[in-house]
């Protein structure tokens, strides 16, 4: 929820009816990995592991966040309104598309940070703590590269957007494969954003990113709140 007139740039998270603790409140020990779990929540933004019946953990929240941000930026996701074939469940149909859609295709025409974020959180282990500081820094840097300023004048408040049009964010395509968890490190952005290898496919020519819609600007604004 957006704050009232006295605090219009304050966002409040609500509706935790489906939330659960990822560790024991007393011992602080992480909950055990269990399989055969039913999907609880919104199918559109559920993580691949959740579709596969694996217990929820922090990594799944991050993957869901990635899908929500991509939806904000593009206005739709490939697995929306998917037809059900031969009586398959919605969860199964959506899961198949999520797993078969390359990140470079899902994040086509978006700044590289979106694909980097999704790739990294998909590689997290069940008990691993997401690198929240790194993710926020990634988005803050994109915010600055896009020419925005920290003036707390957000698009939903009706203020004119303070964007320097001469500043642009140039994107590079992802390699069409996922890195293993073992090879995931701080040099991620320098290793798999490769223009020279494109799997024999025609290279796409990307245009510089310029937020054009309310949802696109909100996706950047929401993650850069101090």
Query: What are the pLDDT digits (tens) for 91-142?
Result: 999 999 999 999 999 999 999 999 999 999 999 999 999 999 999 999 999 9
Output the pLDDT for position 130: 98
Tokens 């979106």 belong to residue: 114
How far is the C-alpha of 52 from the C-alpha of 68, rounded, in Å? 20
Output the pLDDT for position 176: 35
With vertex at residue 45, the alpha carbon angle to CA 41 and CA 47, rounded to the nearest 5 degrees, is: 90
How far is the C-alpha of 193 from the C-alpha of 195, rounded, in Å? 7
- Residue 161 reports pLDDT greater than 60: no
Output the pLDDT for position 182: 36
Output the pLDDT for position 139: 92
- CA–chain centroid gap for 90, Å, is 21
User: pLDDT category, 222, cuts 50, 70, 90?
Assistant: low
With vertex at residue 108, the alpha carbon angle to CA 105 and CA 115, rounded to the nearest 5 degrees, is: 80
Please name which of 26, 24, 1 lies closest in space to residue 12, comparing C-alpha atoms. Answer: 1
How far is the C-alpha of 36 from the C-alpha of 28, rounded, in Å? 24
pLDDT tens per residue across span 185-207:
333 333 333 323 334 333 343 44
Output the pLDDT for position 160: 52
pLDDT tens per residue across span 48-93:
999 999 999 999 999 999 999 999 999 999 999 998 988 889 999 9
Contact 47, 64 (CB under 8 A): yes
Kindly state the tokens that stand for 205.
């020519």
Output the pLDDT for position 159: 57
Average pLDDT over residues 174-192: 35
Contact 113, 139 (CB under 8 A): yes
- Residue 1 reports pLDDT greater than 90: no
Output the pLDDT for position 55: 96
- Residue 221 reports pLDDT greater than 60: no
The domains located in the chain, with CATH, are 43-223 (1.10.510.10)
Contact 83, 119 (CB under 8 A): no
């Amino acid at each position: 929820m957006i704050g009232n007139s006295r605090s219009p740039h304050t966002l409040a998270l609500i509706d935790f009816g489906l939330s659960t603790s990822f560790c024991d409140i007393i011992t602080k020990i992480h909950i055990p990995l269990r399989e055969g779990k039913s999907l609880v929540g919104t199918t559109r933004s559920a993580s691949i592991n959740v579709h596969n019946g694996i217990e929820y953990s922090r990594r799944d929240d991050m993957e869901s966040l990635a899908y929500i941000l991509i939806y904000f930026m593009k206005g739709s996701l490939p697995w929306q309104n998917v037809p059900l074939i031969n009586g398959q469940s919605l969860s199964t149909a959506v899961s198949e598309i999520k797993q078969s859609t390359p990140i470079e295709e899902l994040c086509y025409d978006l700044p590289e940070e979106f694909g980097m974020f999704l790739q990294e959180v998909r590689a997290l282990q069940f008990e691993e703590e997401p690198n929240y500081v790194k993710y926020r820094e990634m988005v803050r840097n994109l915010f600055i590269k896009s020419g925005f300023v920290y003036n707390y004048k957000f698009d939903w408040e009706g203020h004119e957007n303070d964007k320097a049009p001469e500043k642009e964010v140039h994107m590079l395509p992802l390699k069409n494969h996922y890195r293993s968890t073992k090879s995931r490190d701080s040099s991620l952005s320098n290793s798999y954003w490769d223009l020279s290898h494109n799997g024999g496919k025609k290279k796409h020519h990307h245009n510089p990113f310029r937020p054009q819609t309310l949802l696109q600007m909100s996706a950047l604004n929401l993650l850069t709140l101090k």
